[in-house]
Amino acid sequence: MINVLLAETNPVMRVGLISALQESEGFAIAGAAGTMRELTTLAARGPVDVMVGELDFLWAAGRPAMEDLSRTYPTMKLLAHNHAPGLLQAAQFHALGTMGYLSRHCSPSELRIAIATVANGQFYVNASLALILSQEIFKAENIAEASLSPREMRVFRMLAIGISVNGIAAQLAISAKAVSALKSRILGKMRQSDFSALTQFALARGFI
């Protein structure tokens, strides 16, 4: 069971998030806060595995307050969401110590996958922000040499940034089996045996 604490000023969004999690087994709502005072009170009641927080809410609370919260509850992982991702927002996510980013307009299934991924200690990045980050990370002239299709390149970028197979499947609306097949095809085209080797290849060639 994953205990989830919500930090969201918009009451409609709070209801939507709660509804999305209650529709599936394996999640328990530890509380839903609309203010920082409510958030600290609910966190103290515990247990909380993942806190899903709206970026503007968390940023307004301040970095020192979020750092203090992380020190007080070191096992609580943070997943932030926002409606307009960009490089500034990515910097804010990083500064707040989040383990993932989720679009405000994500599907209920992607919300659950993101929470489960973060709860498992892995990073999760929504496709919209992953695309923005990958455009900064990857050099177009080097990418062209890899001879990957647009779909394969998109999956490659998402894998390189750390999105899981299930996470990619949810974002692209395809099966996990299809993503695994694309991953195998990418490895074959780049003549690599596993993804860790592929990452080293990408670093050596300047892809990332």
How does pLDDT run across 24-34, given as a tens digit for each residue?
888 989 889 88
Mean pLDDT of 147-176: 84
CATH class of 2-130: alpha beta
Specify whether the CB–CB gap between 78 and 97 falls below 8 A.
yes
- Kindly indicate the confidence band of residue 176, based on its pLDDT and cuts at 50, 70 and 90: very high
Q: Which sequence spans correspond to the domains of the chain?
A: 2-130, 138-205
pLDDT of residue 141: 45
Mean pLDDT of 134-151: 60
Inform me whether the pLDDT recorded for 4 exceeds 80: yes
Specify whether the CB–CB gap between 7 and 58 falls below 8 A.
yes
Separation CA 108–CA 4 (nearest Å): 14
Contacts of 36 (CB under 8 A, 6+ apart): 61, 65
Mean pLDDT of 175-193: 82
C-alpha distances in Å from residue 31, one per residue of 6, 71, 118, 120: 6, 20, 18, 20
DSSP-derived pairing of the beta strands 77-82 and 124-125: unpaired
Give the rounded distance of the alpha carbon of 54 from its chain centre.
13
3-state secondary structure of 14: helix
Tokens of 6: 């919500």
3-state secondary structure of 48: coil
Neighbours of 114 (CB within 10 A): 28
Separation CA 80–CA 182 (nearest Å): 28
Is the peptide bond prior to 85 cis by the omega test (within 30 degrees of 0)?
A: no
CATH number of 138-205, picked from 3.40.50.11030, 1.10.10.10, 3.90.1150.10, 2.60.120.10: 1.10.10.10
Give the residue, 155 or 196, on which the prediction is more confident.
155
